[in-house]
Amino acid sequence: MDLRLRDKVALITGAGQGIGRQVAKTLAAEGAHIAVNDYYKERADSVATEINELGQKAKGFQCDITDFEQVNKMVAQITDTFGPVDILVNNAGVPIEIRNGKIARSTFIDSNPNAWAKQINLNLYGCLNCTKAVLDSMVERKSGKIISTISEAGRLGEYSLAAYSGAKAGVLGFSKALAREVGKFRINVNCVAVGAMAHEATKPILDPDDTPETSEILAKIIKSYPIGKGLRRIGRPSDIANAIAFLASDPACFITGQCLSVSGGFSMVS
């Protein structure tokens, strides 16, 4: 299928590693020009170099997306470099915290406002900031795709991840409301819900090369993923990137206000 993404300008936040990196590479392979955003400049530049070496156009853009002024400056720089943003992928989010080889968790009663702020500012306000920064141009051109990666925790709630679940649920509610507002401008707004993922950022816990025989943690997690049992693995960045590429494409023009679970059947919300 021709996704008709050639020469489209795509901004992917948090694209210096993991899911964002794979989304950037997948959209680039479809011919899009890629603005690689990351909080860490060296990571953004590294992914942009990877893409450029494959013969596609990309540039790294360092920006703290929780800062609205920084986001506006970044979008202006992207426009000067490639042209206005056609595709926004709100991917950046607070990664899981690992302490002593284990995922750090805290019940809400044991949490504090500083921890909430970190989750809400990046996961929710980062999405709002980036969306606001590109939206005027999309409305003016009557064209645009906005896709946000959320977690299944935002749909179902996750024990000991209350603030994170709330922030991701906020992105889902925001996306549905925005889809109603901007549909008349031919702008599609959708979410992709992610489950457990194995990539470089989660490698201390979930190594992409692990099998159920080599990892007790992986074997336990797979039991919650119906298709994971058959494939003998959990999610990979390519699973998410392929779904996002489709939602960013012209063939998906009649899909908006939806949340697509790409989590191996972990969630089956109707």
101 and 208 inside one domain: no
User: CA nearest 96: which of 243, 235, 203, 21?
Assistant: 203
124 and 218 inside one domain: no
Query: Residue 219 sits in which domain range?
Result: 198-234
- What is the pLDDT at residue 101? 60
Instruction: State both tokens at 19.
Output: 């899911």
Could you list the pLDDT tens digit for every one of the 270 residues in the chain?
Answer: 789 999 999 999 999 999 999 999 999 999 999 999 999 999 999 999 999 999 999 999 999 999 999 999 999 999 999 999 999 999 999 766 666 666 677 899 999 999 899 999 999 999 999 999 999 999 999 999 999 999 999 999 988 999 999 999 999 999 999 999 999 999 999 999 999 988 887 877 788 888 888 888 889 889 999 998 999 999 999 999 999 999 999 999 999 999 999 999 998 876
Asked about 164 being catalytic, the answer comes back as yes
Among 40, 125, 159, 164, which one carries the catalytic annotation? 164
Instruction: Confirm whether 73 is domain-assigned.
Output: yes
174 and 229 inside one domain: no
14 and 82 inside one domain: yes
220 and 160 inside one domain: no
User: CA nearest 233: which of 215, 245, 249, 247?
Assistant: 215
Q: What is the DSSP letter of 124?
A: I
Instruction: State both tokens at 253.
Output: 């023009």
DSSP 155-222: HH--TT-HHHHHHHHHHHHHHHHHHHHHGGGTEEEEEEEE--B-STTTTTTS-TT--TTT-HHHHHHH
CATH number reported for the structural domain that contains residue 89 in this entry = 3.40.50.720
Question: Into how many domains does the chain fold?
Answer: 2
**pTM of the predicted structure, to 2 decimals:** 0.95
- What is the pLDDT at residue 69? 98
User: CA nearest 9: which of 47, 39, 37, 42?
Assistant: 37
93 and 223 inside one domain: no
125 and 221 inside one domain: no
Q: How far apart are CA 262 and CA 194, in angstroms?
A: 6
85 and 181 inside one domain: yes
Q: Which residue has the tokens 């970044």?
A: 74
Q: How far apart are CA 259 and CA 176, in angstroms?
A: 9
Residue 104's Cβ-count burial label (10 Å; 0-12, 13-18, 19+) is: exposed
189 and 204 inside one domain: no
- What is the pLDDT at residue 100? 65
Q: What is the DSSP letter of 122?
A: I
Q: Which residue(s) pair with 165 in the sheet?
A: none
116 and 216 inside one domain: no
- What is the pLDDT at residue 204? 75
52 and 185 inside one domain: yes
In this structure, the number of other CB atoms found within 10 A of the CB of residue 54 comes to: 11
Instruction: Confirm whether 25 is domain-assigned.
Output: yes
55 and 37 inside one domain: yes
Compute the Cα dihedral for 16, 22, 25, 30 and give only its sign. Answer: negative
| Cβ–Cβ under 8 Å, residues 31 and 110 | no
- What is the pLDDT at residue 202? 81
